[in-house]
């Protein structure tokens, strides 16, 4: 593969790296300790290992913090079908990313189960191998509304891990937070179906928003600790610009921990590099919990993720204003080698650490950064 390094002075202005088929210089890529293959490092020394693919920008919920109905009402124009990457294009790209060191692949949306025939995509992606031959660690994030219907075929297609977003057990609050007519029972049935069909890992993510659902922390923890499901609490984030995020709505990780300790005897578990969650175990029951302190304790330092939107734009950070157009390269017939070189140059020029910068002592941490940011429903969480 030919990789052309980008001078740091130019990297911050990088919009769409040109394709250079003439130069053969390459950034220094140390060998992986596991398989001896070169590791792709960004400008802060972070290896590329994770990719999140959004397979649709559509969702059956209108959670005010993600897809507020005032913005995503009947007038909203979702991406036309032809603009969305096909399963064949996604699978081909997954192979290219795997050749660059991808080990983990998460499928997101919008709501990914809104994408027709999603199990067929899963079955295609499961044949993509990591360098070294191991299967990819593939997971899916869903709101769970359609999960009971699809859990068995997802498992049969080769999915092993699933994460369900659920912010409340109280049905009225759940309907208000999802701005939908779906009952919380439907989502719980989806989670039970995922366990019943034998998915190896079923987790639940709860976004905690002060003044809204913090009274659900203990009911959720008590319910899922008895179900063998790891519950992860997420600080309310300033993703996108349509939700009017304000810092005072963030319930911090230490505050959540204080609430949990009223009921559980928690001790810390070791955090794996690249893990977004601090993890805890209840000594009495063995139940595990996670807390994702995206706002108060950012984890940019070992962020190993790229994000691909459903229309094929690649972002080096959840908050990166610009995406880089892989769909155009695919559809103009570029080779896998050229695609890999393009992606590698993007990664080696990467210096994003938005959340760390926003919480640094010199920034105004109580405000979201000005300027355009992609909406979560477009880029995937």
Binding site for ligand SF4 (CB under 6 A): 298-300, 303, 305, 317-319, 352-355
Contact assessment for residue 46 and residue 316, using Cβ atoms and an 8 Å cutoff:
no
CB of residue 303 to ligand SF4, shortest distance in Å? 3
Tokens of 115: 């994408």
Q: Which residue's CB is nearer to ligand SF4, number 101 or number 144?
A: 101
Give the CA count within 13 Å in the CB-facing half-sphere of 127: 9
Q: Which residue's CB is nearer to ligand SF4, number 190 or number 298?
A: 298
Answer whether the bond into residue 19 is a cis peptide, omega within 30°. no
87-99 vs 118-125: helix crossing angle, rounded to 10: 30
CB of residue 70 to ligand SF4, shortest distance in Å? 26
CB of residue 302 to ligand SF4, shortest distance in Å? 9
**CA 150 – CA 153 distance, rounded (Å):** 6
CB of residue 381 to ligand SF4, shortest distance in Å? 11
CB of residue 251 to ligand SF4, shortest distance in Å? 19
**CA 109 – CA 381 distance, rounded (Å):** 8
CB of residue 25 to ligand SF4, shortest distance in Å? 26
**CA 350 – CA 300 distance, rounded (Å):** 12
Q: Which residue's CB is nearer to ligand SF4, number 135 or number 274?
A: 274
Tokens of 132: 């070294």
Tokens of 142: 């869903």
- Taking alpha carbons only, the member of 70, 142, 377, 77 closest to residue 240 is 377
- Taking alpha carbons only, the member of 65, 78, 136, 19 closest to residue 309 is 78
Contact assessment for residue 118 and residue 55, using Cβ atoms and an 8 Å cutoff:
yes
Q: Which residue's CB is nearer to ligand SF4, number 21 or number 364?
A: 364
User: Cα torsion for 16, 108, 226, 271, to the nearest 10°?
Assistant: -20
Q: Which residue's CB is nearer to ligand SF4, number 264 or number 319?
A: 319
Q: Which residue's CB is nearer to ligand SF4, number 115 or number 373?
A: 373
Q: Which residue's CB is nearer to ligand SF4, number 118 or number 304?
A: 304
CB of residue 300 to ligand SF4, shortest distance in Å? 3
**CA 119 – CA 151 distance, rounded (Å):** 9
């Amino acid at each position: 593969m030919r990789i052309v390094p980008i001078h740091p002075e130019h990297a911050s202005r990088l919009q769409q790296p040109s394709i250079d088929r003439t130069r053969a210089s390459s950034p220094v890529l140390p060998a992986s300790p596991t398989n001896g293959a070169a590791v792709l490092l960004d400008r802060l020394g972070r290896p590329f290992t994770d990719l999140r693919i959004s397979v649709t920008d559509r969702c059956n919920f209108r959670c005010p913090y993600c897809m507020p109905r005032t913005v995503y009402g009947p007038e909203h124009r979702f991406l036309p079908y032809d603009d969305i990457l096909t399963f064949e294009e996604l699978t081909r790209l997954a192979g290219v990313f795997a050749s660059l060191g991808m080990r983990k692949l998460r499928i997101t949306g919008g709501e990914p189960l809104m994408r027709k025939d999603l199990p067929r995509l899963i079955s295609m992606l499961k044949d993509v191998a990591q360098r070294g031959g191991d299967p990819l660690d593939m997971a899916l994030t869903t709101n769970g509304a359609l999960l009971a219907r699809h859990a068995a075929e997802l498992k049969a297609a080769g999915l092993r891990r699933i994460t369900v977003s659920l912010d409340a057990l109280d049905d009225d609050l759940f309907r208000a937070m999802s701005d939908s007519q779906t009952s919380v029972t439907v989502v719980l049935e989806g989670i039970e179906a995922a366990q019943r069909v034998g998915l190896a890992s079923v987790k639940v993510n709860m976004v905690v928003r002060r003044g809204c659902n913090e009274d659900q922390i203990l009911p959720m923890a008590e319910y899922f600790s008895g179900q063998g499901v790891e519950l992860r609490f997420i600080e309310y984030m300033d993703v996108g610009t349509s939700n009017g995020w304000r810092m005072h709505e963030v319930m911090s990780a230490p505050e959540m921990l204080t609430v949990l300790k009223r009921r559980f005897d928690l001790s810390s578990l070791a955090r794996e590099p690249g893990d977004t969650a601090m993890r805890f175990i209840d000594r009495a029951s063995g139940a595990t919990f996670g807390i994702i302190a995206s706002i108060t304790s950012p984890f940019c330092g070992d962020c190993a993720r790229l994000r691909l939107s459903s229309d094929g734009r690649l972002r080096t950070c959840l908050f990166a204003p610009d995406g880089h157009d892989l769909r155009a390269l695919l559809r103009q017939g570029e080779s896998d080698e050229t695609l890999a070189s393009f992606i590698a140059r993007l990664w080696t020029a990467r210096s994003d650490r938005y959340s760390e910068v926003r919480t640094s002592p010199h920034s105004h941490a109580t405000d979201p950064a000005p300027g355009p940011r992609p909406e979560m429903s477009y880029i995937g969480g």
